[in-house]
Amino acid sequence: MLGRHTRAGDAIVFTPRFAPASGVRVRALFHPQAGAPVTVWFGGVPAPQRAPTTRVSWVTPSAAVWPENVLRLYVSFSAPMRIGVAWEHLRVLDAGGRAMGGMFVEIDQELWDPSGRRLTALFDPARIKRGLVDHINEGPPLKVGEICTLEIDALWRDAAGGLLAAPYRQRFAVGPPLRAGLDPADWRVTPPATAADPLVVDFPHPLDAALALRAFKVTRHGEEIACVAELAQDETRLRLTPASCWSSGAHLLEADPVLEDIAGNRIGRAFDIETKPGRERAEARAARVSFRV
């Protein structure tokens, strides 16, 4: 079980990264320098029944049309969730309501944020990248023109043992793939109208939500300005609101090279590109855009 150990006087305290699910028995084993090992069992008590309150709070991409080569989706919940059962409860359905298999990289070590509230689901990149065996034999997980539904059933339990309050369904169409690197020249930057208004940046295609919220910063004379980042309009608009009022004058909007759109394309580098012998793959780069307040 992942977690960390600390000392508290003569005691050793173990804090798990994710709390064990209700009803699961856990064994603690301690090997002292001298003497026999000490084993203690605990847990195993089912959680009391309660009315379901946990919900799916946000799914990205949130647009009505997803590109054929969408690389990831994020599912955020209102409370920590039970870990290790995602693929039993999350699926993509075709237009006839049938589950479409082979969509995701269904690894045992699911990709959760430290709070246990946000799951990252990866569409199979071996089926997305052209030229790879899986892409040639099976094609991409999603295909242009399809009408699909992302479904999360209400039988998924949260970390406290409660069921979801309601199932979640999001219908989307599959559009053409995005295969060009991000170009800051395509971004529309709207400076703040007043010293308290946000800086607004509009993009031609949806961004990867988790990366976008940490990839941008604003600086003035080399000093970073504390801002709150928010995404809107199906992840095609970024708002950066200053913690205190803007100063008048020139500023820089800076984007880290980790920034991606929802198809994995970075600044100056496409995720899926047909390589040629002797041609080096382009490296992602940072971007800086100036604006005045």
- Which DSSP category does 184 fall into? G
Judge whether 263 lies within some domain. yes
| Cis bond upstream, residue 48 (ω within 30) | no
Query: In this predicted model, which residue has the larger pLDDT, 210 or 12?
Result: 210
Residues 6 or more apart whose CB falls under 8 angstroms from that of 72 comprise 120, 121, 122, 123, 208, 262, 264
In a domain, 69, yes or no: yes
Same domain, 164 and 66: yes
- pTM value is 0.78
Same domain, 245 and 277: yes
Q: Tens digit of pLDDT for each residue in 210-268? A: 999 999 999 999 999 999 999 999 999 999 999 999 999 999 999 999 999 999 999 99
Under the banding of pLDDT at 50, 70 and 90, the label for residue 279 is low
Statement to judge: residues 39 and 102 lie in one domain? no
Least confident range from 6-20, 52-66, 161-175: namely 6-20
Residues 165 and 196 grouped into a single domain: no
Amino acid at 171: R
**Distant-in-sequence, close-in-space partners of 289: CB < 8 Å, separation ≥ 6:** 184, 187, 189, 252, 253, 255
CATH number at residue 210: 2.60.40.1220
**Residue 16 pLDDT level (bands cut at 50, 70, 90):** confident
Q: Is the pLDDT of residue 275 over 60?
A: no
Q: What total of structural domains would you count in the chain?
A: 3
207 part of a folded domain: yes
Mean pLDDT score, 136-150: 94
Both structure tokens of 48: 């009391």
Q: Picking from 37-41, 89-93, 240-244, 259-263, which range would have the lowest pLDDT averaged per residue?
A: 37-41
Q: Which of 125, 155, 175 is the last residue of a domain?
A: 175
Pair 162, 214 in one domain: no
In a domain, 5, yes or no: no
Within-domain flag for 128: yes
Q: What share of the chain is helix, strand, coil (3-state, %, to 5)?
A: 10, 40, 50
Mean pLDDT of the residues in the chain? 91
Same domain for 164 and 230 = no
Both 66 and 168 in a single domain? yes
Same domain assignment for residues 165 and 193: no
The 111-112 sheet, strands edge to edge: 56-60, 72-77, 118-122, 111-112
Per-residue model confidence (pLDDT) at position 51: 82
Q: Is residue 18 part of a domain?
A: yes
Mean pLDDT for the stretch of residues 17-33: 75
- Is residue 88 domain-shared with residue 167, that is, in the same domain? yes
Residue 4 maps to a domain? no
Q: Does position 278 have pLDDT exceeding 70, yes or no?
A: no
Give helix then strand counts, H and E, for the chain.
Answer: 4, 20
Same domain for 60 and 35? no
Could you tell me the CA-to-CA distances from 179 to 159, 174, 201, 269 in Å, in that order?
A: 39, 15, 21, 9
Same domain, 30 and 62: no
Q: What is the pLDDT of residue 40?
A: 80
- Do 210 and 105 share a structural domain? no
Expressed as residue numbers, the domain containing 113 is 56-175
How far is Cα 261 from Cα 182, in angstroms, rounded to an integer?
8
The count of other CB atoms within 10 Å of the CB of residue 22 is 18
Q: Which residue has the tokens 């070590």?
A: 109
